[in-house]
């Protein structure tokens, strides 16, 4: 699932393509991507509107319009595909030969942006304003926001009795961290995923804060080299596995002590950690 670094890289690559452009038409191939909204409602909000900005909050991507807002959430496999024009879109979208899966597409004066998720978990929603957008109301502080300091993290940890891993996955507390980077941040901070959030003193909270910021920024650097190529339907982020120290490394030696990384179930998700290093 794309997390903060991946979505931020997508936002930065998409911004110069669509900023300032008018949405001429909304093409809907699989209406499930818009649920619970109806296609007509989404079209009413976005068509004939100009894209004023492209930004990210947590794991959500937003197109800020001159009136209204378009929200995208990629879930597990969602991605963006760029077509040169509507003719190419209609010729290739979901075609049996030489086609690509497309759920929804935004036709601009120059180019077409397609949203695709073959498993149909990803969603595209339109809102009359930022104030009307539910995710923006519910999301906690973004993990790369200026206000996300060690002091702020400690205050939020102190108010929770949940295990650290579950705390980091809670988007209403800290937004943008998913299963991959929660595992990585806890490994770097040498903290046990099952340790209670409110058990961390200021020093340990500062260690975790430093680890979170480091892991996310390092991953973002990786996600931008190379930058997302929306014109290639097979494009995906390359090289991320080279910077991972815990996630999906069960059985591999810990980079600090050499003891094998362990995989365990936690809250319905896979947790990877070192039993010796992470206390």
| Catalytic residue list contains 269 | yes
Q: Which residues face 56 on adjacent strands?
A: 61
Q: Which of 49, 59, 123, 173 is catalytic?
A: 59
> What one-character DSSP code corresponds to residue 226?
S
Residue 84: phi and psi, rounded to 5, are -70, -30
| Annotated catalytic residue, options 3, 107, 166, 184 | 3
For 206, the token pair is: 């500062």
Closest Cα partner for 143 from 88, 89, 210?
Answer: 210
Label each residue of 198-228 as H, E or C: HHCCHHHHHHHHHHHHHHHHHHHHHHCCCCC
Rounded Cα distance between 110 and 128, Å, is 25
Q: What angle do CA 120, 122, 123 make, to 5 degrees?
A: 110
d(CA 125, CA 195): 37
Question: What is the distance between the alpha carbons of residues 268 and 213, in angstroms, rounded to a whole number?
Answer: 25
Residue 90 burial (CB count, 10 A):
17
Both tokens assigned to 113:
């942006």
Q: Is 118 a catalytic residue?
A: no
The active-site residue out of 44, 217, 245, 269 is: 269
Q: Please give the Cα distance from 244 to 248 (Å, whole number).
A: 8
Residue 2 bears catalytic tag: yes
Is 137 among the residues known to form the active site? no
Residues labelled as active-site residues: 2-3, 59, 269
């Amino acid at each position: 699932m794309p997390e903060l670094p991946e979505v931020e890289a997508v936002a930065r690559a998409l911004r110069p393509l669509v900023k300032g452009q008018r949405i001429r038409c909304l093409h809907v191939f699989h209406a499930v991507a818009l649920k619970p909204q109806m296609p007509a409602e989404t079209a009413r909000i976005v068509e004939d509107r100009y894209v004023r900005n492209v930004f990210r909050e947590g794991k959500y991507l937003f197109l800020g319009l001159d009136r209204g807002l378009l929200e995208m959430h990629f879930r597990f496999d969602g991605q963006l595909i760029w077509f040169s024009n509507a003719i190419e879109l209609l010729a290739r979208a979901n075609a049996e030969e030489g086609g690509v899966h497309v759920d929804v597409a935004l036709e601009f004066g120059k180019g077409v942006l397609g949203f695709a998720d073959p498993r149909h978990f990803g969603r595209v929603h339109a809102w009359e304003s930022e104030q009307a957008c539910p995710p923006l109301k519910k999301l906690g502080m973004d993990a790369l926001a200026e206000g996300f300091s060690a002091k702020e993290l400690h205050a939020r940890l102190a108010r929770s009795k949940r295990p650290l891993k579950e705390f980091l996955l809670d988007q209403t507390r800290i937004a943008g961290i998913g299963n991959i980077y929660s595992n990585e941040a806890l490994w770097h901070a040498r903290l046990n995923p099952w340790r209670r959030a409110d058990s961390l003193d200021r020093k340990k909270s500062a260690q975790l804060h430093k680890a979170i910021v480091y892991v996310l920024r390092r991953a973002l650097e990786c996600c931008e080299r190379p930058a997302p190529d929306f014109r290639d339907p097979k494009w995906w982020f390359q090289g991320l596995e080279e910077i991972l120290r815990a996630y999906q490394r069960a059985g591999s030696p810990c980079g600090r002590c050499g003891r094998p990384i362990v995989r365990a179930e936690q809250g319905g998700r896979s947790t990877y950690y070192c039993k010796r290093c992470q206390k």
